[in-house]
Amino acid sequence: MPEPPQQAEAGSLPVADAASPAARVRAALAALGADALPAAGRGGRKLAGGGAAAGRRARPSISDYHSAYLAGDVTPSDVAEAIIKFLGSEAGAANWLCDFRPDHLRAQAAAATARYARGGALSVLDGVPYGVKDVIDAYGHASGGGTTFLAKMRGPVLDVALEAPAVAALRSLGALLVGKTQMQEFGLLPTGISAQQGLARNPHSPNCIPGGSSGGSACVVAAGVCAFAIGTDGGGSVRIPAAVCGVVGFKPTQGRMASEAEGCSLVTLGPIGEPQRLLAARRPKALPAVAAASSVVAERTSLG
């Protein structure tokens, strides 16, 4: 049975697949409100599609970011500054992140920019922005589990050796952690309403829920803030918000990512990405690095 025709979302413009990776990244930065990038690439080359608005739903892939960085047309610092500006604006204040530290993001981006400048990128993920759910430990951030009190009780992770294994793997590959994403309290419900922050606004409609419990992770990907995000899934906590926000969520086989997320043997960490780019075969070069980041098996992940 043929599928019904898909209607484009009102107010959004697609990013043409024929455009260059740099053009897609630049379109995403323009959608986030970046205004500092020149119309031509840093090497003096005119970019295909450069300067064309991509709308609010511009979502470049991991390989788009990597190709743009290698060409020198865009830097990780450019991307970080666009994200910081967007999240500091009214449009970015949609309860998607519960812990965002601009100086931390700038430092990561500066290091990645320097690596690309000297031809020493760590991987295809080097300089690519991502987010992690508020139940997954990451250096410099506190894990609150969507509550109003656990982050204050536990405080931030002060040693990279205490990060969740999947986050540590992504750090070793150079990925840029934007921040901790909002979640339902203790991951118990599928709506995306946080006791700490209220409702995470669905990027497609601020009056709609994003799903849960990994709602913030799905939102930052759907909005084009992050190329991918990591959530946790026991009974649909990655898959539900991914479906509601129009992105792809995947629950890996138990143990494929750091084991016993949230201290529960039924829960796994899982990625959320943009349809047909992060997880589909048409963009295969990004998959080995994602697989490497997700293959770490360990007993301790976060709140357990």
For strand 248-249 and strand 228-233, is the pairing parallel, antiparallel, or unpaired?
unpaired
Quickly list H helices, 137-286.
Answer: 150-154, 165-172, 215-222, 239-245
Q: How confident is the model at residue 72 (pLDDT cuts 50, 70, 90)?
A: very high
User: Residue 230 phi/psi, 5° resolution?
Assistant: -115, 125
Give me 220's structure tokens.
Answer: 């930052």
Q: Is residue 187 in some structural domain?
A: yes
**157-216 tens-digit pLDDT:** 999 889 988 899 999 999 999 999 999 888 888 888 887 778 888 998 888 999 999 999
Beta strand pairing status for 129-133 and 176-181? parallel
What are 173's two structure tokens? 């590959």
CATH number for the domain spanning 194: value is: 3.90.1300.10
Is residue 209 a contact partner of residue 192, using CB atoms and an 8 Å limit? yes
Which residues make Cβ contacts (< 8 Å) with residue 52, sequence separation at least 6? 23, 27
Q: Of residues 77, 213, 217, 302, which has the active-site annotation?
A: 213
- For residue 268, name the pLDDT band (cuts at 50, 70, 90): confident
* pLDDT at 257 > cutoff 80: no
The answer as to whether 32 is a domain residue is: no
Partners of residue 106 on adjacent β-strands: none
Flag whether 194 is in a domain: yes
Please confirm, yes or no, whether 133 is among the known catalytic residues: yes
Is the separation of the CB atoms in 78 and 120 below 8 Å? no
Q: Give the C-alpha separation, 171 to 184, whole Å.
A: 26
Known catalytic membership, residue 294: no
Query: Taking a C-beta distance cutoff of 8 angstroms, is the pair 133, 216 a contact?
Result: yes
**Catalytic, out of 77, 133, 251, 294:** 133
- Number of domains into which the chain is organized: 1
pLDDT band at 56 (very low <50, low <70, confident <90, very high): very low
In a domain, 43, yes or no: no
Averaged pLDDT score across all residues of the chain: 78
∠ CA 178-180-182 to the nearest 5 degrees?
125
Which residues lie below 8 Å from residue 208, measured CB to CB, with a gap of 6+? Answer: 201, 202, 244
Determine, yes or no, domain membership for 134. Answer: yes
Which pLDDT score is estimated for 289?
A: 47
* Annotated active-site residue in 237, 259, 294, 302: 237
Greater confidence (302 vs 72) lies with: 72
Is 192 inside a domain boundary?
yes
In a domain, 232, yes or no: yes
Three-class secondary structure of residue 22 per DSSP: helix
pLDDT digits (tens, 9 = 90+) for 118-164: 999 999 999 999 999 999 999 999 898 888 898 888 889 999 889 98
Please state, in angstroms and as integers, the Cα–Cα distance from residue 92 to each residue in 61, 68, 281, 296, following that order.
21, 24, 31, 32
Token couple for 52: 């064309």
Task: Give domain status of residue 74, yes or no.
Answer: no
> In sequence order, which residues have a C-beta less than 8 Å from that of residue 195 and are 6 or more positions away?
146, 147, 148, 185
Structural domain span for residue 199: 90-294
Active site residue 85: no
